[in-house]
Structure 1
Amino acid sequence: MRKKNLKEFKTMLERKGLLVSSQIEDVQQQIIEYISYNSMDIKENTLFICKGMNFKEEYLNDAIEKGAVCYIGEREIKKDFPHIIVSDMRKAMSYTGCMFYDGIWNEKLSMIGITGTKGKSTTATFVKSIIDDYCRSIGEKETGFISGIYTYNGKRKEKAKKMTTPETLQLHKLLWECAENGCRYLVMETSSQALKYGRTDALHYKVGGFLNISEDHISDREHPDIEDYFNSKLKLFSQCEIACINMDMEEKYLEKVMSEASAKCKKIITFGNTKKAEKADYYGYDIKSSPESLSFKVRNEYGTEDITVSIGGFYNASNALAAIALTRALGIPFENIKNGLASVKVAGRMELYHMTNKDVDVIVDYAHNKLSYCTLFENINRLYPGRKIMLVFGCHGNKAYNRRKDLGELSNIYADRIVLTEQDPGTESVIDICNQIKQHIDADKLLNIIEDRGEAIAYACDAVEDGWVMVIAGNGADGYQKRGLTYVELPTDGERVQKYIDENR
C-alpha cells in the first residue's frame, strides 16, 4: 500500500468536486499513516474524519492528542489546526478510504454482494460454504466474509456487532485485509442503508444478488417510505457486473428489478421455485424438508441436479437457489455446490434444539420483520402440523416502528402463547415497546412481558408445555443487546436454551 501525503488527498477531493476549503499549506507533504473516524482508534499521523450529527469537538481534541495530524469535516471545528472542509462527508469518506487503501479489493477480490429484506445472512453463508469447498479443492485461501453474523478477513473471524454492512472505513479496512491476506473471493451482505449512504460506493461486485423486497426499515432514522427503501436496494445493480434475481418476487417489484438490472449489468441470471419461475435459469422443485435438513431438485441449462442442504426449512430452498445462481455465475462446479450446501452450518437460522425433560422442539431464528415472520411460521406449520406454538420475541427500539404492529398481528395469528421481551431497545423503554406490540394482540391471548431477554427465555423454557414448539425470534446468533447507547455482550438465545437443556436432563 503506497503511502500518500495530505496534498494528494486534498487534490483528489478537489478533483471529485467535494473540496470547499482547506488549511494544510504548512503540512502538505505530511505522510498519512492511518485513517479513522473513531477517536478511540488513532495512531501516529492519522487523518481524522469528523462525521455524524452528534460529533463533538472533544472527539477531535482527543484524536489530536493521540496522533491525528489533520481532520476532514463539513465545517471548521478547530481553525488553527490543519483541516480539509468538504461538501459531502459520506462521499468524501468513501473516496478518501478508497485512496488510502489503494482500492485493491476491486483488483484482487471477486466480490459477491447480496441484498434483500430477508435471507441475506443465510444466503451469504451458503455461498461461503460453497466457495470454501471449491477453494479447498484447489488449495486456495477460504472466502472472505462480511455479514451481520461475523466477519472473516482471511486470518481472523470476529463476531459482528449489529451492523449488516460495516461503516465505510471499517469496510474498506476489512476488504484491504482480505486482499492482503490472500483471499481470492469475498461474499458480503449489502444492506439498504449501506447502499443509500454510499458505504459501498468504492466497491465493484463481480456478482450481485437481489433476493426479495417487502416493506421494512421504514422510520425517520432509516427510510421514509417503501420507495426510498426499494430504490436504495436497486443501487446494487450500478455496482455489479452480473445480476442474480429471484423470479418469485412480487410482480410489482420484479418488473423494476429486472429493468434496472438490464440497464446496469452485463448479464442477468434468474432463479426461483414457484410456478411463475419455471423458466428461470435455476429452477427448484420437488422440495422436501425436515426440521434438520432440506432437499430439492434444480433444473438448469445442463440438466437436473439433486441438492441436499444441512439446514431445515422449506423457505431455505430459495436461499439455496440464490447461492447456486451466485456461485455458478463465478463458474463454481456443481460438485462443490453440492458439497458446500450439504455441510453448511448457519448459526441462528432455524437453529434446532430438543428438550430432554419434555417433548418440545425449540427453534432459534433471526426472523425480525413481517416477511421473515410469515415465511418462518408457514414453514413451522408445515414441519409441525397441529402443534401449538410458544413465541418469545420483541421489537427494536428507535427504528422500524411498523414492526410493532406487523409482528404483533402476526404473533396473534401464529402463536398460542407469547412472551414479549427486549430486542435492542436502545434508548426506548422495553415496557413501552412491548405494550405497543401488545395493542395488536387479542386481549385473551396468554401473554407475559419480561424485560430481560435471558429471564424471558428461561421463563418460556419452564412454561412451554409438552408437545409444543417453542420459537425464539429476532436475535438469531447475536450475542449482544443494545441498551441505551451501548452494546452489552450477552449469551446468545441458543446458548440460553442449551443451558436450560443441560440443567434439566
Structure 2
Amino acid sequence: MNLKSLHSVHFLGIGGIGMSALARWFNHIGVKVSGYDRTPSPLTAELEAEGMVISYLDNMQTVPDKVLQDSKNSLIVWTPAIPKDSVQLNYFKDHGFRLKKRAEVLGMITSGMRTIAVAGTHGKTTTSSMIAHLLKSGGKNIAAFLGGLTQNYNSNLILHDEEGDQASVVVEADEFDRSFLHLYPDVAVVTSADPDHLDIYGDDTNMMEGFRAFISLLPNGGHLYIHYKAFEKLGISEAKPWKTIIYGKDKGEVRAENIVAMPGAFHFDYVSSEAKIEDLELKMPGFHNVENALAAISIALDYGLTKSEIRKGLSSFKGVKRRFEIWIQEEDRVFIDDYAHHPEEIRAFLSSVKAMYPDKKLTAVFQPHLFTRTRDFAKGFSESLSLADEVILLDIYPARELPLEGVTASMLMDDIQSPRKSLKTKEGLLDYLKQAKIEVLVTIGAGDIDRLVAPIVNWMKQHENQV
C-alpha cells in the first residue's frame, strides 16, 4: 500500500496519544484526515486547529462523504481501545474497507528508515523522547512517533528533513495487544518487563514471550539496550546475532554514579567501559529517569555525538507532559503530576519525590486505571502508595472496560500503610485539599485525573497570593 497516494485516512480513537501522532503525519503529507473519539480533549482541539475533521458521535452520519464513497483510496486506522460494538468500526468491517491497526501503519511508515524502537512496561515514552531530543539537538536527521507530548517540541511527532541525510526514526514500541511485533527495529531498547496487560496476555509468562519476540525482530548486527532487571527476567542470551548492552542505575556495563537528587533536577555521572561523562544535569527528575537517560546517552554516543553535545542536549531536555511534570515548586508548596499507573511506576515516582523533598509531608492522589489492572495488582498498588504520608484514592477510571463486580478503589485501602488515607470523588477533591495541610502534593494516574491539574494549580496560586 502506498500510504502517500491515499486521499483520506479516518481514525477511530484519533484522540489517543499514539493515534494522533499518525494523524499528524498523514496531515503533514497532504492526506485528508478525519476521525472519531469519545470525548473532546485539549489534544483533539489541537488536531482540529491543524485542519482535521473530528466527531464525537459514533455514527456514520459524521464520517466525511469522501471516505464513504471511495473505500479503495481510503484507509481506516483503529485502536483496540475502541469498543467491539462501535457503530463505525463494525460498518467499516462489514463494508470491505481497508482497516489497519495503529501499529501496522506505524510499521509501514518506518519500514524504510533506520528504526530505534523503545519498548518496556514503563519508561518507553520518556526514553524515546530523550533519544529523539538528544539526536535532534546534536544535528542528526531524526523523525519520532512518541507516546507523549514533549515539552521541547510541544508535540508527539517530530518530522525529519526529507531532503537531508538518511533519516532515523524513533518509535515507541507498545506491548499492548502485541503491537510492537509490527515494527522493524534496527536498534531496540527494553526499559522494563514487569507484568501488565494481563487482560491481553493472560499471564506473566505469555507477556515475557511477547517481549522476547519483539527482541528477536532485531537484524544481524543490531543493537539491544536492555535494563538489567529486564535482562535477568527475560533470560536473554548474549550469544545472539545482535550486540547486547545492559544498563542500570547501579548494575550493568552502563551505569549511573554519584546521583544527587535536588528539587527540580538530578545530577549524575554516566559511566561505561567506553566513556565517562561527569556531572550531567537532568531537569526531568527521578531515579528511574536517570536510568532512562543511560539508554538515551548510549545511543547518542553510538550516533557519534560528542560529550559536550550530550551534556547540552540532556540539560536542555524539558521532559514530557504528565511525566514527573512539576507545576509548582515553592518553598512552602510543591505540586507534581505524573502518568504512573502501574505499582512499579508509582514506587519509582514516589521514591524520587521523597528523595527530592525528604523533610516535607507527601500527599498522593491516585486514580486507578482499568478494573482488571486494579484487580490484578491490588496489593502492589497498596504497597507502593504506602510510600506517601497521605493517600487519597479516586474512583477507578474504566477506559475501555466495563465494571467488574467487587473491584473498586476501596479494595486498596486496607493494605495502604500510610498514616492518613481516604476515598474522595473528583468533584470533592479540591474542597478537601483546601482544608488539608499540603506541602508536597502529587497527582498520579493514566485516566482523566489530568483534568484536575488546572484547578489545583489555580487554587495553589490564589493561595500563594493570599498569603
Tell me the TM-score normalised to structure 2 length. 0.71
* In structure 2, distance between residues paired with 1:248 and 1:57: 42
1:288 aligns with 2:288: no
Aligned position for 1:115: 119
Aligned position for 1:434: 409
* Residue deviations 1:64-84 (CA, integer Å, cap 9, x gap): 9xxx974469xxxxxxxxxxx
1:319 aligns with 2:287: no
Does structure 2 retain, via aligned residues, the 8 Å contact 1:351–1:494? Answer: no
1:469 aligns with 2:440: yes
Gaps spanning 5+ residues in structure 1: where? 6-32, 74-88, 160-173, 482-489
* In structure 2, distance between residues paired with 1:355 and 1:309: 17
The one of 102, 110, 130 equivalent to 2:134 is: 130
CA shift in 2, pair 1:248/1:238, >3 Å: closer
CA shift in 2, pair 1:330/1:348, >3 Å: same
Note the C-alpha offset of 1:503.
2.0
Aligned position for 2:213: 235
Does structure 2 retain, via aligned residues, the 8 Å contact 1:222–1:399? Answer: no
* Residue deviations 1:106-164 (CA, integer Å, cap 9, x gap): 22x322111122211211221121012023xx6x5x532321x2499xxx9656xxxxx
1:449 aligns with 2:423: yes
The one of 337, 346, 351 equivalent to 2:325 is: 351
Does structure 2 retain, via aligned residues, the 8 Å contact 1:293–1:309? Answer: yes
Does structure 1 retain, via aligned residues, the 8 Å contact 2:174–2:180? Answer: no
* In structure 2, distance between residues paired with 1:491 and 1:430: 27
Amino acid at match of 2:208: F
The one of 399, 409, 416 equivalent to 2:383 is: 409
* In structure 1, distance between residues paired with 2:306 and 2:131: 13
CA shift in 2, pair 1:353/1:429, >3 Å: farther
The one of 315, 330, 341 equivalent to 1:342 is: 315
- SS of equivalent residue, structure 2 residue 111: helix
Does structure 2 retain, via aligned residues, the 8 Å contact 1:271–1:325? Answer: no
Aligned position for 1:304: 276
The one of 265, 269, 290 equivalent to 2:245 is: 269
Number of paired residues?
A: 399
Gaps spanning 5+ residues in structure 2: where? 6-30, 37-59
* In structure 1, distance between residues paired with 2:191 and 2:289: 12
Amino acid at match of 1:409: E
Note the C-alpha offset of 1:285.
0.9
CA shift in 2, pair 1:45/1:134, >3 Å: same
* Residue deviations 1:285-344 (CA, integer Å, cap 9, x gap): 111121211121122344421222122223322111011123333333333322221011
Amino acid at match of 1:300: S
Note the C-alpha offset of 1:44.
4.1
CA shift in 2, pair 1:460/1:380, >3 Å: farther
Q: Give the greater-gyration-radius structure (CA).
A: 1
The one of 324, 330, 333 equivalent to 2:303 is: 330
* In structure 2, distance between residues paired with 1:200 and 1:55: 22
CA shift in 2, pair 1:157/1:69, >3 Å: farther
Aligned position for 1:484: none
Does structure 2 retain, via aligned residues, the 8 Å contact 1:127–1:327? Answer: yes
Does structure 1 retain, via aligned residues, the 8 Å contact 2:391–2:420? Answer: yes
Does structure 2 retain, via aligned residues, the 8 Å contact 1:355–1:501? Answer: no
Note the C-alpha offset of 1:392.
0.4
Does structure 1 retain, via aligned residues, the 8 Å contact 2:224–2:242? Answer: no
* In structure 2, distance between residues paired with 1:491 and 1:471: 11
The one of 170, 175, 192 equivalent to 1:212 is: 192
The one of 106, 113, 116 equivalent to 2:111 is: 106
CA shift in 2, pair 1:273/1:455, >3 Å: same
* In structure 1, distance between residues paired with 2:249 and 2:286: 14
In the TM superposition, 1:15-414 aligns within 5 A as 40=63, 42=67, 44-47=69-72, 59=88, 63=92, 70-71=96-97, 103=108, 105-107=110-112, 109-135=113-139, 140=141, 143-147=143-147, 149-150=148-149, 184-194=167-177, 196=178, 199-218=179-198, 221-241=199-219, 242-249=222-229, 252-253=232-233, 256=235, 258-259=236-237, 262-263=239-240, 265-274=241-250, 276-277=251-252, 280=253, 282-306=254-278, 307-346=280-319, 347-354=321-328, 359-400=332-373, 401-411=375-385, 413-414=386-387
* In structure 2, distance between residues paired with 1:430 and 1:501: 38
* In structure 2, distance between residues paired with 1:432 and 1:61: 30
Does structure 2 retain, via aligned residues, the 8 Å contact 1:113–1:188? Answer: yes
* In structure 2, distance between residues paired with 1:369 and 1:448: 20
* Residue deviations 1:402-459 (CA, integer Å, cap 9, x gap): 2333212332x322222111452344399962222224336x953332222x642x24
- SS of equivalent residue, structure 2 residue 244: strand
CA shift in 2, pair 1:430/1:61, >3 Å: closer
* In structure 2, distance between residues paired with 1:231 and 1:368: 23
Tell me the TM-score normalised to structure 1 length. 0.67
Q: % of aligned pairs identical? A: 19
Cα RMSD between the aligned structures? 4.1
* In structure 2, distance between residues paired with 1:428 and 1:460: 27
* In structure 1, distance between residues paired with 2:308 and 2:136: 12
